Copies of this chain bind each other. A is one copy, B any other.
Amino acid sequence: MIDLSVEIAGIKLKNPVMVASGTFGFGKEYASLFNLSKLGALVTKGLTLHPRPGNPPPRIWETPAGLLNAVGLQNPGVDFFLSEILPAMKSFEVPIIANIAGFTIEEYTQLASRLTVPGITGLEVNISCPNVKAGGMALGAVPELAAEVVEAVVKATSLPVIVKLTPNVTDIVALATAVTQAGAHSLSLINTLLGMAVDVNSRRPALGNITGGLSGPAVRPVAVRAVWQVSQAVDVPIIGMGGICTSNDALEFILAGASAVAVGSAHFRDPLAAVKIIEELEQYCIENGIRDWKQIIGAAWKGQN
């Protein structure tokens, strides 16, 4: 067996394939489908300080090679998560990364410090959710504000801090540079693209929240571009995501500069997508005589063929 392990911001992963926030809940539902310990890491649904009901339905709308979602961070709140959900997650034997979403800097720091507990391996700071009015993308699109959030979070926790960026900006490199300087240990690229659909039958917006986040294979070229640009500009490891469905897709991100990847919407088409990708990556390394798979990280720009 090939060693696919990698270290991201001090987090040791047995392989570079995570599951993306919001597409995998808190793992329970998929645990009946496969052994979650096969995963590199599990990123939780976005957690907020207080419970949130989320947006009114419809929350999902299919689009060509993708989907729009406007879940709106429905979650039971951090306290419930810590007392009722996290304990049971330990049996999955997989590194757990908590995705956190605040509406003020203060909320982000509170979330970070409360989640700095055994059982949580890292934090993914979601400053990129397109489906809520305050916080989320509003904070995450302005480098200065984003940096403030990150600086405060890094102070509030001893855990590795991964910052998840939105692609809905003019200059993602500026954003990445700002949050890295503010202390981010790793970056997740990308959250969903801001999109929308109109239901031609009702002549009204298709989603309850009107706009939503676009994900799935349709967005992959945008995500690969973000990884390519950012990985050359910053020194922290990057977790690439956006439309990854196969090991070929995962390799595209790795070659573009990602040190790990996350599989999201692909689960909706194939619930075993992440595990299959892990197996195929092993196969790829064997077939291509790659001893240390990490040598191909960024190979597309490092020019190492």
Where the two chains meet, the residues of A that have a C-beta atom closer than 8 Å to any C-beta of B are: 63-66, 68, 141-142, 168-170, 193-198, 200, 202-205, 210-212, 214, 216-222, 224-225, 228, 243, 248, 251-252, 255-256, 296, 299-300, 304-305
| Set of chain B residues within 8 Å of A210, measured between Cβ atoms | 228
Contacts of A228 in B (CB 8 A): 196, 198, 205, 210-211
A142–B174 Cα distance when bound, in Å, is 14
Q: Give the Cβ gap from A115 to chain B, nearest Cβ, in Å.
A: 29
Q: Across the two chains, which residue of chain B brings its CB closest to A211? A: B225
**Min CB distance, A263 to chain B, in Å?**
15
- Which residues of chain B are near A304, meaning CB under 8 Å? 203
Cross-chain pairs A/B with CB under 8 angstroms, 12 sampled = A64-B217, A68-B221, A169-B169, A170-B170, A193-B193, A193-B221, A194-B222, A194-B225, A198-B255, A202-B305, A203-B299, A218-B218
**Chain B residues within an 8 Å CB radius of A195:** 221-222, 224-225
Shortest Cβ distance from residue A259 to the other chain B in the assembled complex, whole angstroms: 15
- State the CA gap A211–B301 with chains docked (Å): 12
Give, as a whole number of angstroms, the nearest-CB distance from A254 to chain B.
9
Contact of A220 among B63, B212, B219, B248 (CB under 8 A): B63
Tell me the minimal C-beta distance from A239 to chain B in angstroms.
17
**A225→B281 CA distance, assembly (Å):** 36
CA–CA, A229 to B256, complex, Å? 33
With A63-B218, A64-B243 given, name 8 new contacts (CB 8 A): A63-B221, A65-B66, A68-B221, A168-B170, A196-B221, A197-B224, A198-B300, A204-B300
In the assembled complex, which residues on chain B have CB atoms less than 8 Å from the CB atom of A63? 217-218, 220-221
State how many angstroms separate the Cβ of A157 from the closest Cβ of chain B.
28
